[in-house]
Amino acid sequence: MASLEIQNLQISIGDKPIVKGLSLTIRSGEVHAIMGPNGTGKSTLAKAIAGHPDYTITGGDVLLDGKSVLEMETDERARAGLFLAFQYPSEIPGVTIANFLRAALQARLAEGEEIDASAYYKRLYAKMDLLKIDRKFTSRAVNDGFSGGEKKRCEILQMAMLEPKFALMDETDSGLDIDALRIVAEGVNAQRGSAISPGILLITHYQRLLDYIIPDHVHVMWDGRIVKSGDKSLALELEAKGYDWVKQEFAAASA
């Protein structure tokens, strides 16, 4: 069983501390939801763990199977088993989905090893069918001109192809209508139920995604820290009481 341990992590953008000591351990197969108001550091947490150069880790550690990832380049972290599903995936003109995923898989092979093209396409098409992505998309440029829903499905497709140990899903539900949300959730759940069974950190502002991807743990983030943890009922409580409740309850504590 794999583990992702976030230990007292502190993250800054420039001189400004955003994440101020956050600890969380995720194991294979677990889904942890992090909820919280905008601007509380949720996306920063995900991007910094993936290695985004705009963020500085000023303290703490992130261990993947006991080994720190902080000295690794972004691509090394990805090959070690981390996956970031972007809130706003980049558009990559001129690079087709097929070539892009092939390059990503090729990067995981030893020098001199080549991808079996027919097996690759067979697997790619199967995952696309599951996510109701038209097979013609393989020859389209990555996210180029895609709708919001298409981009998010493309993120889940990449996750399905790359089979990470841990996925950090940053507001995957934002901009999705209910049908697209259901398709995306089915895609994630299919991976949860598979032998790969990644651990998932689900960052969301809204509870509705958690109706489709049932979390094992729910954490409330406020001002750069986890201030409350519970089971899925905590998400419902948040939905009922709203984030003002969080602010009132925890503002004093974090001040």
Instruction: Give the residues lining the site for other proteins (CB under 8 A).
Output: 50-53, 73-75, 78-79, 83-84, 86, 89-95, 99-101, 103-104, 107-108, 141, 158, 162
Distance, CA of 18 to chain centre? 19
CB of 166 to other proteins, least distance (A): 13
CB of 255 to other proteins, least distance (A): 34
Q: Which is nearer to other proteins, 101 or 226 (CB)?
A: 101
**Owner of token pair 């984030």:** 243
Q: Which is nearer to other proteins, 88 or 245 (CB)?
A: 88
Q: Which is nearer to other proteins, 158 or 191 (CB)?
A: 158
CA angle 53, 55, 61 (to 5 degrees): 105
CB of 159 to other proteins, least distance (A): 10
Phi, psi of 25 (to 5 degrees): -120, 130
Q: Which is nearer to other proteins, 12 or 96 (CB)?
A: 96
Contacts of 40 (CB under 8 A, 6+ apart): 221, 222, 223, 224
> Rounded CA gap, 204 and 87, in Å?
10
Residues written for the chain: 255
CB of 148 to other proteins, least distance (A): 16
